[in-house]
Amino acid sequence: MTNTWQDIRNANVVIVMGGNAAEAHPCGFKWVIEAKIENGAKLVVVDPRFTRTASVADYYAPIRPGTDIAFLSGVMHYLLEKDAIQHAYVRAYTNASLLVADGFAFEDGHFSGFNAETNSYDKATWNYDLDEQGFAKADDTWQNPRCVINLLKQHVSRYTPEMVSRITGTPQDKFLHVCELIASTAAPDKAMTSLFALGWTQHSVGAQNIRAMAMVQLLLGNIGVAGGGMNALRGHSNIQGLTDIGLLSNQMPGYLSLPTDKEATFDDYMKTKLFKPLRPGQTSYYQNYGKFVVSLQKALWGDAATKENNWGYDWLPKLDIPLYDIIKAFEMMNNGQMTGYICQGFNPLQAFPDRGKIRRGLSKLKFLVTMDPLDTETSRFWQDFGPQNPAKPSEIQTEVFQLPVTCFAEENGSLVNSARWLQWHWKAAEGPGKAMSDIWIMSGIFHRLREMYRKEGGAFPDPILNISWKYTDPRAPDPEELAKEMNGRTLADQTDPVTNAVTAKAGTLLDGFGQLKDDGTTASGCWIFAGSFTEKGNQMARRDATDPREQGIAPNWAWAWPANRRILYNRASADLEGKAWNPKKPVVEWNGTRWAGIDVPDYIPTTKPSDNVGPFIMNAEGLGRLFALNLMAEGPFPEHYEPFESPSENVLHPKVSNNPAARVFADDRASFGHRNDFPYVATTYRLTEHFHFWTKHALINAILQPEEFVEIGEVLAKEKGIAQGGWVKVSSKRGEVICKAYVTKRIKPLTVDGKPTHVIGVPLHWGFTGQARKGYGANTLTPSVGDANTQTPEFKAFLVNVEPTAAPVT
Ligand SMILES: Nc1nc2c(c(=O)[nH]1)N[C@H]1C(S)=C(S)[C@@H](COP(=O)(O)OP(=O)(O)OC[C@H]3O[C@@H](n4cnc5c(=O)[nH]c(N)nc54)[C@H](O)[C@@H]3O)O[C@H]1N2
Ligand SMILES: Nc1nc2c(c(=O)[nH]1)N[C@H]1C(S)=C(S)[C@@H](COP(=O)(O)OP(=O)(O)OC[C@H]3O[C@@H](n4cnc5c(=O)[nH]c(N)nc54)[C@H](O)[C@@H]3O)O[C@H]1N2
Ligand SMILES: [Mo]
């Protein structure tokens, strides 16, 4: 989230598109209700299904799964045509005025630089037109056709209301009404908040769905302000923490990128990181990158990381391909390239696409280790259940080790919520039986590995042998010790550069990342967490809910990264003079000498408004990007591509139907179905009564939602002779599910490119362990294809067929 849960109540319009917050985030959803009651906010829901969120909305519009870019490009077209944008904001705070390099173009579904042989882009032209000093040229009058704003206008001009409706199936009048509600927040004192989750991410164009709305928000001046922002409602209680501390395979803690094998030396690595300012006088905060990465290396290797060895740079892994995501891991298992798998708190047989492929992959392993409090389907994959069940466990040679672990309530620790708050929690109970903590198990594996490296050498022992492991109990480091290590501390006395006085003795916990150094005198395991555990104590454990302006900012409740800042980019909440755009809901303002307010300024606090430094200081030009440069895999502007399985051709460019840069393996192409055989669109989702695949182990949840079902609209049910509560067989090219039909008014057929299109809803919670009735699982049906930037699987738009059937024999 750029903003916070509490801040939602400041919104004038709340749009839930690409998620179902009332169902999946029922506690946080109370802030939407507060926005409605206290602020008179309008709640708008755009979803293929009339959801629990839609049931309390002021306005609902249906949409075909996988077509949000067409919808949102149509919104941009509407805003630009009606001139419903916040002009002063767009001119001063976005890259609208900057000129784009000459070679950049878009034609017939491809951006410039496409290589049809490698199916990838050379992004050289996805850049600004730079002057001799390397600064981006600009035309503040917007006359030059190469201005970002003019290229954007041209790009979205194809998305007329007629075209939007033809692609998305959203009736034109409903689309236009949503546009009107959105446009009402272009006023400087009005804000819209965008709440989204998997309805946007789980597509082969997922990241561009989100970009499209971020662009809408920039055009409206809704980023950085109270009640605005792009608010990803996250999943597991600590999934935000997972990405923060670098558990994605191409990242290190604090979103620092893992080196690639093209970056053989530390200098090579740093060359592409320091982001020289792209406008004169601009602050480009990532000029501090070296301080973050050296401090991380010092945290990893302590005294062994020296200036001479570039702080242990050679010990960092170097990626040989862009990344090893989970889809890739299962591809490698299937090809025999990965033979062992440690599966910690993860149930891929249930959770990952094309279950048959997952099962085949696991069956080829030499060993599988699961670390889980529960008996998961993955740990018993050899018993698989369903029509595709191999039922020959004796032929599977994989050795499975199940390690029972404790869970969050059985240990101290912190969870990072969607609002980036690190909240400490305290142990409430002892773990049952022989369950041990994740930390204890991981430490044990580490010590045994290190012992083996010590004794046997091995290919490359240095990264493991040099690890710094100075914990009170090396067998099980204390969560507080780990938290302090993440925060960071000084390794030598720090002195004031002018007076030479000692400002912090060696060993002092850092107050913030501003104190980090690139000379090896500071260590920090995750620079964005610096300030979370200081000499004043554990900031994550704070529980003071005082909210001085009653505006949803309680600075002493827990601690938010970065720097305890609650609203990101909050400099943009004020105008060019430093006064709040919305005087009723100021966030930070210029008080004559510095930036101050109810939040920690996202800016250099002493930079005067007249210095004309852009508010987005993490970007080298300091501006919000309507043109994304080379950061996205498939283009600097979002473009509508059909899902890999789609009921319609791409009416904009039939020859380039799908995202050209999506994550798809050649072997998987044969497993995609066609609309002739699988005529219905399916989408998968969750229910409040279950949490993924765990709560079916609890009797109460199993009673609330006892068995697998699919939702089918009344029209299709009638056409197919499917009865309410009757058995149906849902099939895709990859497998079939037999379950009960829930016939509903909440899904209506859509007219897509002139043809009626039916959507089938597939909740995902059932498997073959636990208390609920056995089910085949939604992912028996889903395709193995991922988003081009994040590799998130396309769980939300694929094709199936459905037929009434007899009850299965069990
Ligand atoms: N009770 C409960 N709560 C949970 C979870 C749980 O299992 N149970 N899981 C947690 C996790 S890990 C996560 S990630 C979050 C997920 O939170 P959400 O993303 O809100 O959850 P989903 O149920 O996947 O909802 C996706 C919604 O998007 C809609 N949708 C599908 N395709 C499209 C599309 O192309 N465009 C648009 N506009 N909408 C589309 C679906 O109809 C559905 O209503 O929930 C979290 N909260
Ligand atoms: N078709 C379809 N598939 C989906 C989705 C969808 O919308 N549609 N959603 C996707 C999403 S967003 C998600 S997040 C995934 C979820 O997929 P998973 O994360 O694989 O599902 P969970 O059941 O949440 O599994 C987490 C496991 O962690 C265990 N666990 C809990 N606490 C601890 C702990 O402290 N330590 C350890 N070691 N284990 C613990 C639980 O018992 C559980 O077995 O599913 C994805 N799959
Ligand atoms: Mo999730």
- The predicted model scores a pTM of 0.98
The least confident of 292-296, 394-398, 549-553 is 394-398
Helices 148-156 and 68-81 meet at what angle, rounded to 10?
120
- pLDDT tens column, 606-659: 999 999 999 999 999 999 999 999 999 999 999 999 999 999 999 999 999 999
- Whether 277 and 134 map to the same domain: the answer is no
Strand partners, 440: none
Which residues are CB-contacts of 182 (< 8 A; sequence separation ≥ 6)? 13, 15, 44, 75, 79, 192, 216, 220
- Whether 186 and 310 map to the same domain: the answer is no
Task: Answer whether residue 341 shows pLDDT above 80.
Answer: yes
Q: Whose alpha carbon is nearest atom 6 of ligand 1?
A: 691
Predicted pLDDT at 707: 97
Strand partners, 357: none
- pLDDT tens column, 224-283: 999 999 999 999 999 999 999 999 999 999 999 999 999 999 999 999 998 899 999 999
- Whether 313 and 450 map to the same domain: the answer is yes
- Whether 269 and 282 map to the same domain: the answer is yes
- Whether 150 and 79 map to the same domain: the answer is yes
- Whether 665 and 788 map to the same domain: the answer is yes
- Whether 215 and 255 map to the same domain: the answer is no
Q: Pull the structure tokens for residue 276.
A: 């020289």
d(CA 422, CA 332): 35
- Whether 435 and 499 map to the same domain: the answer is yes
Q: Whose alpha carbon is nearest atom 2 of ligand 2?
A: 795
Cα 226 to averaged position of ligand 1 atoms, centre (Å) = 25
Helices (H), 239-302: 239-244, 266-271, 289-301
In this structure, which ligand is nearest to the CA of 19? 1
Ligand 2 pocket, residue 345 CB under 6 Å: yes
- Whether 133 and 269 map to the same domain: the answer is no
Predicted pLDDT at 805: 97
Residue 545 lies in a domain: yes
Ligand 2 pocket, residue 271 CB under 6 Å: no
Confidence of residue 389 (pLDDT cuts 50, 70, 90): low
Ligand 1 pocket, residue 24 CB under 6 Å: yes
Cα 573 to averaged position of ligand 1 atoms, centre (Å) = 30
Residue 754 lies in a domain: yes
Ligand 2 pocket, residue 235 CB under 6 Å: yes
d(CA 92, CA 742): 52
Ligand 1 pocket, residue 279 CB under 6 Å: no
Q: Which residues of 541-572 are buried (b: 16+ CB within 10 A; e: fewer)?
A: bbeeeeeeeebbbbbebbbbbbbbbbbbbbbb
The total number of structural domains that make up the chain: 3
| Total number of residues shown for the chain | 810
In this structure, which ligand is nearest to the CA of 418? 1
Which of 202, 237, 272 is a domain's end point? Answer: 237
Which of 175, 203, 237 is a domain's end point? Answer: 237
Shortest-distance atom of ligand 1 to CA 21 = 20
In this structure, which ligand is nearest to the CA of 795? 2
Query: Across residues 303-328, what is the average pLDDT?
Result: 95
Predicted pLDDT at 1: 98
Query: Across residues 28-33, what is the average pLDDT?
Result: 98
Cα 329 to averaged position of ligand 2 atoms, centre (Å) = 17
Shortest-distance atom of ligand 2 to CA 686 = 7
- Whether 271 and 282 map to the same domain: the answer is yes
Residue 789 lies in a domain: yes
Task: Answer whether residue 387 shows pLDDT above 70.
Answer: no
Residue 120 lies in a domain: yes
Q: Helix/strand/coil (H, E, C) string of 72-110?
A: HHHHHHHHHHCCCCCHHHHHHHEHHHEEECCCCCEECCE
- Whether 452 and 314 map to the same domain: the answer is yes
194 SS3 class: strand
Ligand 1 pocket, residue 51 CB under 6 Å: yes
In this structure, which ligand is nearest to the CA of 209? 1
d(CA 793, CA 684): 12
Residue 250 lies in a domain: yes
Q: What is the DSSP string of 246-260?
A: T-STTEEGGGEEPPB
Rounded to the nearest integer, the mean pLDDT of the chain is: 96
Predicted pLDDT at 119: 82
Confidence of residue 388 (pLDDT cuts 50, 70, 90): low
Confidence of residue 323 (pLDDT cuts 50, 70, 90): confident
d(CA 684, CA 644): 16
Which of 565, 583, 605 is a domain's end point? Answer: 565
Cα 208 to averaged position of ligand 2 atoms, centre (Å) = 25
Q: Whose alpha carbon is nearest atom 17 of ligand 2?
A: 351
Ligand 2 pocket, residue 797 CB under 6 Å: no
- Domain hosting residue 157, numbered range: 6-237
Cα 543 to averaged position of ligand 3 atoms, centre (Å) = 27
Residue 730 lies in a domain: yes
Q: Whose alpha carbon is nearest atom 47 of ligand 1?
A: 24
- Whether 461 and 433 map to the same domain: the answer is yes
Helices 68-81 and 206-219 meet at what angle, rounded to 10?
20
Confidence of residue 808 (pLDDT cuts 50, 70, 90): confident
CA distances from 684 to 651, 692, 703 (A): 25, 12, 21
Ligand 2 pocket, residue 697 CB under 6 Å: no
Task: Answer whether residue 467 shows pLDDT above 90.
Answer: yes
Q: Whose alpha carbon is nearest atom 41 of ligand 1?
A: 199
Confidence of residue 810 (pLDDT cuts 50, 70, 90): low
Q: Pull the structure tokens for residue 181.
A: 């509600």
- Which CATH number does the domain housing residue 798 bear? 2.40.40.20
- pLDDT tens column, 211-220: 999 999 999 9
Residue 552 lies in a domain: yes
Predicted pLDDT at 392: 78
Predicted pLDDT at 384: 77
